[in-house]
Structure 1
Amino acid sequence: MIYLDLALRGGAITVLLLLALLLWRAPISLEGRLSVSALALSESAFLIITAALPLDLHPALHSNLTLIASFTPAAITWLIVTIFLDSPGQRWPWLVASLATSAALYTHESFPDLYSVCLPMSVILYGALFILSLWSTRDDLVECRCRARPGFAAAIAGLALFLTAGQATGLLQEDSLSLALLQAAGTLAVTLNFAVWLLRPDAHRWPGETSPEISNRLPVQDEFSDPTLIAGLQSAMSAGIWREEGLTIGALAGKIAVPEHRLRRAINQGLGYRNFSSFINQARIEAACAALSDPAQMNATVLEIAYEVGFASVGPFNRAFRAEIGCSPTEYRRSALSRAYTDSEKSSPIAANLH
């Protein structure tokens, strides 16, 4: 059984490293390639140092592999948020939490008492990633990502959650052969299935721009060709449906009487949006900019304007506004009103006579 464990680990490491190398020629973003490479290296190091048969490694090599392996939670998190969260601003809290978990895992090598702390941290992180993989589907417009989410949740975050929860509850002992075999066999199975999905690369799965030479090799995607649906959608947006607080793609599909999957495809392939929030928020932010730059509404608070354009609170409004415009609503208002005041001074008869 020990040699079976070694064989499974060798196969998993080989597939992981080959996958990482092959993806450097795939039409995906740089962050996508880096996240897969980071996971391949950290998981390979983890498989080497946790083998059921202790390997006779030089102490310096073992120490370096342990350090690399400790970044596995961060690498798993980086890969999942890179694929499923389009906005960089949404990713950093996940990355900070995963780095804290990785730091705890590495520190416990020197302070074994921390093992009781880092395992619950890992369980919480992987459980949250499992939920993220499924929950964020409601906002996703990219069909191939929506179809892949259940597999991602069960395979990557789910496997890690099962193994760490098993250790945390005592069902799987840290140095047992059963845990080693589950780690090796599970990693190999997940890697093979992940490779099947990734080696049919589609740049639309990954956020970020691709290089021009890679973009030229992308398969041409048929444009969405239902002008009636697009016209109905644009009519509903012009009528201000985006002002409804908590509007979901399912509710919008019901309003314009089309199946939800057709509406997702129309917004994604017909209008070029990757997620529903960015589609709705663009209309909301445009209206907010008009209100903030209107001298007649200068007495309206930012919160009142946020409510008026469909946001439930000022926090999400501020974040969406800054992501779209690059500054806070207050800063935008101050700058817009200042420009309006300057322009009005220049166009006044008194100012004209002075010049």
Structure 2
Amino acid sequence: MTTLEAALRGGAVVILLLRATVAARSARRDAVSRYAAPLAAGIAAYIVESAPGFGTLDLRLRIPVAIVSAGVPAAFWIAMGAMFTDEFRPRWYHALGWLALVGLALMDQFKHPMEVDVVRTGLSVAFLLLGAWHALSGRAIDLVEGRRRLRIWYAAVTVLYALVAIASDWLWPGGLSAAPVSLANAATLTIVIFLFAVLGSIIAAETQLAPAALRATPSPLPSDSRPAAPATGPEAAQLAALQHVLDHDKVFREPDLSIASLSQKLDIPEYRLRHLINRQLGHRNFNAFVNGYRLAEAEAALSDPAQAGVPILTIALDAGFGSIGPFNRAFKVRTGLTPSEYRRTRLAGAEGAVQSRVAVGPDAAVGPHAAET
């Protein structure tokens, strides 16, 4: 390995370890940092593992690096979910996928059948594609403009490089660690990692300007946040028009409502509408924003004694949900109750209040000084 290549790989490793350290310090309060730290550490280990001559090192030195490096595809899958899916929660199968890759990597350090390499490659490709799916699938409803742009770069560049690296290991001896391409590989890794570090810092700063909490309440301004800057001029007029079509025209009742269709109704560009909802109303996800209005309407209907006989499916469809499944899940997340439990609780409370007023009698409404008259 040349001095230039050693410097490039060393610089990339330093950048990644610094980012992993910074992310680890924020891991308790930030889910993205919690999963970005092991991803950065894993990529740093891969840079070391893919260096020429790594296979000649003592087994006791190779195994720890190989273990950390092996989990990169699974760590990428998890980190992309945390970064680009606001409602992401780690599941048991995420841990199982990481453990499977680590186990296969350990077997790879010793004599093993070809099937081990095939299974490891298949799992790695699957996890990388799942990570790319996380990055791309929610782009249409993402209201954080900088994060929308970053989705494509993360998915395309990372998956393309990883697939080339995996294919090279099968196509020629040594893969990207072979002497003819090793230096170019190190330079490419360094450039990509540096660019991602810069872009990640910019997007993190931009995201922090907008309210970080997901909002589902149909309020012009969330109670726990304020806009980055008060709406003035044309933006104030656009905000008023948005509130009008939601509060008066009830456009949220349209099951297929999207950023594109709503921007057409308001006659403003999509990027302006995303900026308006994100920066002025504090929402990061268009579906969550619209569903807030739908759920509020459904709650009102389920609390109304006059609609006690209306089927829950009808209420869900009238509010704008396309089917009962998504409605039930969103309603349970918002209220902690199923729609039927919520209706039963609210109607029982309303009936109890009526009975209480009847038992006290009409004089109870006169006030505390009624007995003095």
Q: TM-score range by the shorter chain?
A: 0.7 to 0.9
Name the TM-score, length of structure 1 as normaliser.
0.82
Distance 1:320 1:14, change over 3 A: same
The 8 Å contact of residues 2 and 52 in structure 1, kept in 2 or not, is answered as no
Name the TM-score, length of structure 2 as normaliser.
0.78
Q: 1:279 — aligned with what? A: 289
What letter corresponds to residue 102 of structure 2 in structure 1? Answer: Y
Distance 1:65 1:249, change over 3 A: same
- Higher relative contact order (Cα pairs below 8 Å, separated by 6+ residues): 1
Query: Following TM superposition, where does structure 1 have runs of at least 4 consecutive aligned residues deviating by more than 6 angstroms?
Result: none
Q: 1:36 — aligned with what? A: 36
What letter corresponds to residue 139 of structure 2 in structure 1? Answer: T
Deviates more, 1:252-261 or 1:330-339: 330-339
Q: CA deviation at 1:318?
A: 1.7
Q: 1:104 — aligned with what? A: 100
Q: Distance in 1 between matches of 2:149 and 2:161?
A: 19
Listed as ranges, the matches of 1:103-142 within 5 Å are 103-108=99-104, 109-110=106-107, 112=113, 113-142=115-144
Q: CA deviation at 1:42?
A: 1.6
Q: CA deviation at 1:270?
A: 1.3
Q: Distance in 2 between matches of 1:29 and 1:156?
A: 26
Q: Distance in 2 between matches of 1:207 and 1:121?
A: 37
Q: Distance in 1 between matches of 2:345 and 2:61?
A: 57
The 8 Å contact of residues 82 and 207 in structure 1, kept in 2 or not, is answered as no
Q: Distance in 2 between matches of 1:236 and 1:182?
A: 55
Q: 1:204 — aligned with what? A: 207
Listed as ranges, the matches of 1:139-178 within 5 Å are 139-164=141-166, 170-171=170-171, 177-178=177-178
Q: Distance in 2 between matches of 1:207 and 1:85?
A: 16
Q: CA deviation at 1:327?
A: 2.6
Q: Distance in 1 between matches of 2:256 and 2:323?
A: 11
3-state secondary structure, aligned to 1:18: helix
Q: Distance in 2 between matches of 1:181 and 1:312?
A: 54
How many pairs align?
Answer: 336
Q: Indicate the structure (1 or 2) with the bigger Cα radius of gyration.
A: 2
Q: 1:290 — aligned with what? A: 300
3-state secondary structure, aligned to 2:337: coil
Distance 1:204 1:183, change over 3 A: same
Matched, 1:48 2:48: yes
RMSD: 3.2
What letter corresponds to residue 290 of structure 1 in structure 2? Answer: A
Q: Distance in 2 between matches of 1:208 and 1:29?
A: 12
Q: CA deviation at 1:276?
A: 0.6
What 5-or-longer segments of structure 1 have no aligned partner?
Answer: 210-219
Q: CA deviation at 1:264?
A: 0.8
Distance 1:183 1:285, change over 3 A: farther
The 8 Å contact of residues 76 and 156 in structure 1, kept in 2 or not, is answered as no
Matched, 1:227 2:230: no
Superimposed CA distance per residue, residues 105-137 of structure 1 (whole angstroms, 9 cap, x where no aligned partner): 222233653332232222222223223323311
Q: Distance in 1 between matches of 2:14 and 2:161?
A: 19
Q: 2:63 — aligned with what? A: 63
Between the aligned residues of both structures, percent identity stands at 32
